[in-house]
């Protein structure tokens, strides 16, 4: 597991110590884009920990990362748009997609099926962009077992169970039964935090967003072959 220590995050700079190397980024982390091997960034959390809010903010700030839109059999909420939030399909349609080997991973969550489309993800990676996944621990473990070198995983924790319950109730869109089910399931989800590369406690959205952007910047540096470029420059003969 890679442990990341963020020393400071502000609007003007990010200092990040990772793998015993110190990178200093002058300017916002999301403004630095260099050619690199694209990767899959997974954000997971129990329901109510702030994952969706962080995902939206990240996509707004960084044009070099694109969301993977999952397929699901659950009912569409009134505020959701088919093809933007999720691809909503019937159980029969989902099962046909499984038979056609169209998913990178799929899992059952709260009795509904969720799956990640293989072709779309490959198209995004081929374009040179990174891909953002909003999936649970089941999908994360599946993907890390299949393509570990392409995965960067982040688990987002709430500050406390009391705060998590407060956030769930503030939605005012779910029954007491569903809220209790989500709280119970959150303990199972949190128990898998150790399977992730990075763990963030989401006390404040802006602070947590800064941590995620710093992680992305370091991963892009690690995958940019900068050391190869430096070696070539050092070995260049001056005529």
Distance between CA atoms of 52 and 57, rounded to whole angstroms? 9
pLDDT at 151: 96
How many residues appear in the chain? 239
pLDDT at 177: 84
Q: What's the total number of domains in the chain?
A: 1
Q: Identify whether the C-beta of residue 78 lies closer than 8 Å to the C-beta of residue 168.
A: no
Place of tokens 């039964």: 177
Two tokens at 111? 């009795």
pLDDT at 166: 87
Two tokens at 49? 């920990």
- The answer to the question of residue 40 being in a domain is yes
pLDDT along the chain (239 residues), means of 10: 40 41 44 75 92 94 94 90 93 97 90 93 94 92 92 94 87 78 90 94 93 92 74 70
Distance between CA atoms of 199 and 125, rounded to whole angstroms? 24
pLDDT at 77: 83
- The answer to the question of residue 121 being in a domain is yes
Distance between CA atoms of 15 and 7, rounded to whole angstroms? 6
- The answer to the question of residue 239 being in a domain is no
27 — alpha (psi -120 to 50), left (phi > 0) or beta? left
pLDDT at 16: 44
The boundaries of the domain holding residue 162 are 5-234
Residues with Cβ within 8 Å of 193's Cβ and at least 6 positions away in sequence, in order, are: 155, 157, 199
Q: How crowded is residue 159: how many other Cβ atoms within 10 Å of its Cβ? A: 13
Element (H or E) spanning 75, and its range?
none
Distance between CA atoms of 32 and 52, rounded to whole angstroms? 24
Does pTM surpass 0.75? yes
Q: Identify whether the C-beta of residue 80 lies closer than 8 Å to the C-beta of residue 86.
A: yes
- The answer to the question of residue 200 being in a domain is yes
Two tokens at 97? 């997609």
* CATH code of the domain containing 139: 3.40.50.300
Pairing of strands 130-134, 65-67: parallel
Place of tokens 């070198």: 149
């Amino acid at each position: 597991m890679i442990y990341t220590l963020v020393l400071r995050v502000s609007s003007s700079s990010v200092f990040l110590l990772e793998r015993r190397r110190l990178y200093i980024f002058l300017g916002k982390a999301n403004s630095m884009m260099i050619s690199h091997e694209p990767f899959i960034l997974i954000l997971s959390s129990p329901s109510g920990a702030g994952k969706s809010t962080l995902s939206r903010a990240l996509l707004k700030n960084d044009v070099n990362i694109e969301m993977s839109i999952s397929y699901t059999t659950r009912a569409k909420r009134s505020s959701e748009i088919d093809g933007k939030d999720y691809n909503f399909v019937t159980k029969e349609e989902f099962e046909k997609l499984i038979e056609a080997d169209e998913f990178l991973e799929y899992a059952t969550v709260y009795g509904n099926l969720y799956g990640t489309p293989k072709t779309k993800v490959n198209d995004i990676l081929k374009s040179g962009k990174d891909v953002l996944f909003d999936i649970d621990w089941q999908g994360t473990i599946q993907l890390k077992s299949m393509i570990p070198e392409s995965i960067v995983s982040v688990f987002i924790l709430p500050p406390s169970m009391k705060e998590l319950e407060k956030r769930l109730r503030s939605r005012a869109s779910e029954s007491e039964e569903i809220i209790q089910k989500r709280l119970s399931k959150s303990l199972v989800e949190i128990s898998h935090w150790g399977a992730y590369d990075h763990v963030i406690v989401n006390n404040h959205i802006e602070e947590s967003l800064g941590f995620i952007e710093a992680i992305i910047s370091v991963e892009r540096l690690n995958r940019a072959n900068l050391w190869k470029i430096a070696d070539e420059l050092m070995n260049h003969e001056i005529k």
